[in-house]
């Protein structure tokens, strides 16, 4: 990810470094007047950590980040830096008891790369290697489908902001290890010590099958998501109000996240450096943390518009008092 | 045949959608290959595909049937609701444990992409979350608006799995539909090679690609190969060994094709196949089925006045998932065995199984 981002953005940032955690932290316009912003998006995706290779060459794994084990059987994966293709299979149901309707558990699953023995497997993959879903990115009309949209979409929006150039001093932190505890963001915030932060994320929809169900969180197609509270942070109310005011003035649709579970890098950033006023602007992402997630281009474009307008306003008016 | 490898034929066949009852596309692909090799084909009224490869030698001959089912499991559209959510039911034995998160193609007015979802976990009880969701909780989401979906998708439209084939190590291929496109590939490959060596054929060969096996061997039940063959060899897939499956319930993955034994199998045909394998240097293994072989052979054995039948199983891991896996070597050995079984057949021995040419005549 760092390589991909560097290739795309090296012509736009003033400088960038990879810190001790692996965060890619870039800056543009630090000599400008105005409050210093931190724009954060995480580079990591949910996946698998191979913890054991058995004698028959099957790769046993633990989840890296939150994964519902029920999405794992019958899926293709890619393993390690060698990008070795593998599959997570399933016991033929013909061989299970008719009454056995247990959902699979991670301990019972494994990745098959076609190796016959541990020795064969370890020539290609080692314990400690990571694996990810192997899902192609594609666009079908208004729909984007792919894996890792959480939070490659956030990284994409951060990249668009950098390319469009925000009229403020800005650090862009492409963070690591969000999925295992918002870890990279903490040190990125400590290093950059911004005056305020905007976290760009993907968030749960649960708007299907029933949009009216009481448990839905956000809706695809209704624009950027603002969070009034989640399990990891309470945002700066003043920044939130300014976001709303900006959206309404610019005629940009937005929606509220209607659940308070889940967390993101704002959870670490708002507590860092003596406390940093932080807001999240998120994308409604269906089937998040699964092999194939959905986003609409329109929600991405509206989010770019909203955050661009928000920064423009702060550049003119300063941070809300 | 030049330039065509068995692997590329298998991938080509696996990539043609053809769920039970909707086999026209894959049947056309198979017939296309046969016709291009100068082999005539015909269909019966249920959609079973037949091809006859007549021996180039003079005189009366027995007929050997090589058979494989060309349908795969799939999904069918039950309903499209007011939100554009597509409710689904299975075509054949779909394993619900595999469904969540799968990418699919809906074959409606045009091909529409979708993902399989289920009632979100936080809307289910802890007890429900420990189990596989029931069919009522599953759906396909196309990401399109309701009116768009309804313009393209109707109840009864069929759905296949969009997972692409992938090569794994040690000559293994993983793809949806290898049950039974692997069997189809073996029979088609052998048929194409036999057609190129009719002068050496001591028997007539009929290839039969059946429909609707996954719904209960329905195509085979309707099949009326003409003339009625003197023996039939059905090629299907068998449970390849894997963690979580008892060795006695499976066959060795990579250990060659299996020859089934049991009441569904004519012992003479099976003995003959084992002898051919030994002469050929093809390692075969045993698969024992105390009742139905679970294949078209159950119907073919009692078709007409009866067809002495045998089953050759290609070991397959993860059956009825979208990542079914075969060893290409096992497939190659199965194809070699079929071809040799036809080339080396002894008319007297074959007629010995069926009762001879006179006794086969049916009014």
What are the residue numbers of the active site of A?
178
The answer to whether position B296 is within a domain reads yes
Identify whether residues B243 and B354 lie together within a single domain: yes
Report pLDDT for B81: 97
Report pLDDT for B211: 98
Q: Out of B95, B120, B166, name the one closest to residue A206 (CB).
A: B120
Task: Give B37's Cβ-side CA count (13 Å radius).
Answer: 24
For chain B positions 266-325, those within 8 Å of chain A (CB to CB) are 317-323, 325
Query: CB–CB of B320 and A213 under 8 A?
Result: no
Query: For residues A306 and A243, is the Cβ–Cβ distance under 8 A?
Result: yes
If you average pLDDT over residues B318-325, what whole number do you get? Answer: 98
Identify whether residues B66 and B215 lie together within a single domain: yes
The answer to whether position B170 is within a domain reads no
Q: Out of B97, B113, B169, name the one closest to residue A90 (CB).
A: B97
- Domain extent listing, chain A: 2-45+148-317, 47-133
Angle at the Cα of B27 from the Cα atoms of B23 and B32, rounded to 5 degrees = 155
**Tokens read off for B33:** 């290959």
Query: For residues B298 and B289, is the Cβ–Cβ distance under 8 A?
Result: no
Reading chain A (321 residues) residue by residue, the pLDDT tens digits are 999 999 999 999 999 999 999 999 999 999 999 999 999 999 999 999 999 999 999 999 999 999 999 999 999 999 999 999 999 999 999 999 988 999 999 999 999 999 999 999 999 999 999 999 999 999 999 999 999 999 999 999 999 999 999 999 999 999 999 999 999 999 999 999 999 999 999 999 999 999 998 889 999 999 999 999 999 999 999 999 999 999 999 999 999 999 998 999 999 999 999 999 999 999 999 999 999 999 999 999 999 999 999 999 999 999 998
Residues of B in Cβ contact (< 8 Å) with A56:
243
**How big is chain A by its Cα radius of gyration, in Å?**
21
Percent of chain B with pLDDT over 90: 93
Identify whether residues B62 and B193 lie together within a single domain: yes
Q: Which fold has domain A47-133?
A: Elongation Factor Tu (Ef-tu); domain 3 (2.40.30)
Q: Which residue range(s) make up the domain with B141?
A: 74-161
End-to-end alpha carbon distance in chain A: 37
Identify whether residues B109 and B219 lie together within a single domain: no
Residues of B in Cβ contact (< 8 Å) with A103:
97, 129-132
User: Where is the domain boundary, B114, B138, B161?
Assistant: B161
Residues B200-229 have pLDDT tens digits of 999 999 999 999 999 999 999 999 998 899
Query: For chain B, how many structural domains are there in total?
Result: 2
User: Where is the domain boundary, B106, B136, B161?
Assistant: B161
Identify whether residues B193 and B140 lie together within a single domain: no
CATH number among 1.10.10.60, 3.40.630.10, 3.40.50.11030, 3.30.750.24, domain A2-45+148-317? 3.40.630.10
Identify whether residues B55 and B187 lie together within a single domain: yes
Identify whether residues B248 and B334 lie together within a single domain: yes
For chain B positions 66-95, those within 8 Å of chain A (CB to CB) are 81, 83, 85, 93, 95
Kindly write down the DSSP assignment for every residue of A257-297, as one continuous string. Answer: --------THHHHTTSTT---EEEEEEEEBTTTSSSEEEEH
User: Where is the domain boundary, B161, B184, B207?
Assistant: B161
Identify whether residues B56 and B79 lie together within a single domain: no
**What is the band of B130 on the pLDDT scale with cuts at 50, 70, 90?**
confident
* Nearest residue of A to residue B95, measured between CA atoms: A93
**What is the band of B187 on the pLDDT scale with cuts at 50, 70, 90?**
very high
Identify whether residues B153 and B216 lie together within a single domain: no
Q: Which of A67, A89, A257, A285 to mutate: most B Cβ within 10 Å?
A: A89
End-to-end alpha carbon distance in chain B: 39
Query: CB–CB of A124 and B319 under 8 A?
Result: no
Report the distance separating Cα B129 and Cα B104, nearest Å: 24
Report the distance separating Cα A270 and Cα A188, nearest Å: 12
Identify whether residues B232 and B316 lie together within a single domain: yes
B88: domain CATH number is 2.40.30.40
Report pLDDT for B38: 96
Whole-model pTM: value is 0.96
B295: domain CATH number is 3.40.630.10
* Nearest residue of A to residue B168, measured between CA atoms: A114
Report pLDDT for B359: 59
């Amino acid at each position: 990810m760092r390589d991909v981002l560097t290739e795309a953005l090296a012509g736009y940032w003033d400088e960038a470094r990879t810190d001790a955690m692996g965060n890619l932290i870039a800056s543009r316009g630090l000599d400008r007047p105005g409050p210093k912003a931190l724009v954060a998006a995480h580079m990591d995706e949910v996946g698998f950590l191979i913890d054991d290779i058995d004698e028959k060459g099957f790769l046993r794994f633990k989840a890296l980040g939150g994964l519902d084990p029920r999405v794992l059987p019958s899926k293709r994966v890619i393993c390690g830096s060698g990008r070795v293709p593998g599959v997570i299979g399933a016991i033929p149901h013909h061989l299970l008891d008719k009454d056995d309707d247990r959902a699979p558990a991670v301990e019972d699953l494994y990745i098959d790369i076609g190796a016959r023995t541990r020795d064969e497997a370890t020539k290609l993959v080692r314990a400690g290697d990571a694996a990810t879903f192997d899902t192609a990115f594609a666009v079908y009309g208004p729909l984007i489908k792919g894996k890792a949209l959480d939070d490659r979409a956030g990284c994409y929006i951060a990249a668009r902001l950098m390319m469009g150039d925000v009229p403020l001093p800005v650090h862009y932190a492409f963070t690591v290890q969000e999925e295992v505890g918002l870890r990279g963001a903490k040190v990125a915030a400590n290093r950059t010590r911004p005056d305020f932060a905007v976290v760009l994320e993907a968030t749960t929809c649960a708007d299907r099958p029933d949009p009216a169900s009481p448990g839905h969180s956000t809706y695809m197609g209704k624009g950027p998501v603002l969070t009034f509270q989640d399990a990891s942070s309470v945002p700066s109310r003043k920044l939130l109000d300014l976001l709303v005011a900006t959206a309404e003035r610019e005629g940009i649709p937005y929606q509220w996240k209607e659940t308070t579970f889940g967390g993101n890098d704002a959870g670490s950033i708002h507590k860092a450096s003596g406390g940093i006023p932080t807001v999240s602007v998120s994308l409604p992402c269906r089937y998040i943390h699964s092999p194939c997630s959905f986003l609409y281009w329109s929600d991405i474009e509206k989010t770019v518009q909203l955050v661009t307008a928000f920064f423009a306003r702060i550049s003119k008016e300063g941070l809300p008092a | 045949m030049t330039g065509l490898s068995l692997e590329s034929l298998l991938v080509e066949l696996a990539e043609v959608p053809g769920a039970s009852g909707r086999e026209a596309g894959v049947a056309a692909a198979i017939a296309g290959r046969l016709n291009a090799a100068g082999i005539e084909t015909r269909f019966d009224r249920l959609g079973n595909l037949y091809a006859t490869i007549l021996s180039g030698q003079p005189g009366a001959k027995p007929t050997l049937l090589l058979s494989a089912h060309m349908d795969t499991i799939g999904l069918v559209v039950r309903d499209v609701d007011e939100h554009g959510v597509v409710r689904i039911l299975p075509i054949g034995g779909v394993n619900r444990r595999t469904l969540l998160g799968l990418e699919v193609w809906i074959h409606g007015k045009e091909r529409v992409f979708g993902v399989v979802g289920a009632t979100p976990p936080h809307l289910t009880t802890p007890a429900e979350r420990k189990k596989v969701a029931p069919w009522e909780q599953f759906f396909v989401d196309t990401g399109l608006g309701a009116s768009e979906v309804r313009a393209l998708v109707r109840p009864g439209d069929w759905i296949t799995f969009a997972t692409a084939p992938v090569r794994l190590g040690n000559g293994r291929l993983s793809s949806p539909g290898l049950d039974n496109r692997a069997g189809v590939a073996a029979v088609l490959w052998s048929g194409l090679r036999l057609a190129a060596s009719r002068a050496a054929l001591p028997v007539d060969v009929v290839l039969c690609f059946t429909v609707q096996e996954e719904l209960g061997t329905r195509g085979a039940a309707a099949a009326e190969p003409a003339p009625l063959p003197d023996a039939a060899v059905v090629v299907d897939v068998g449970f390849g060994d894997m963690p979580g499956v008892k060795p006695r319930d499976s066959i060795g993955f990579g250990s060659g094709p299996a020859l089934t034994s049991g009441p569904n199998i004519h012992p003479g045909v099976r003995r003959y196949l084992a002898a051919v394998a030994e002469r050929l240097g093809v390692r075969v293994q045993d698969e024992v089925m105390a009742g139905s072989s679970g294949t078209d052979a159950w119907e073919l054995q009692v078709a007409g006045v009866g067809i002495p039948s045998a089953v050759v199983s290609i070991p397959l891991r993860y059956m009825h998932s979208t990542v079914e896996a075969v060893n290409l070597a096992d497939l190659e050995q199965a194809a070699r065995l079929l071809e040799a079984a036809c080339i080396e057949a002894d008319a007297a021995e074959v007629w010995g199984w069926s009762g001879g040419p006179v006794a086969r005549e049916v009014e």
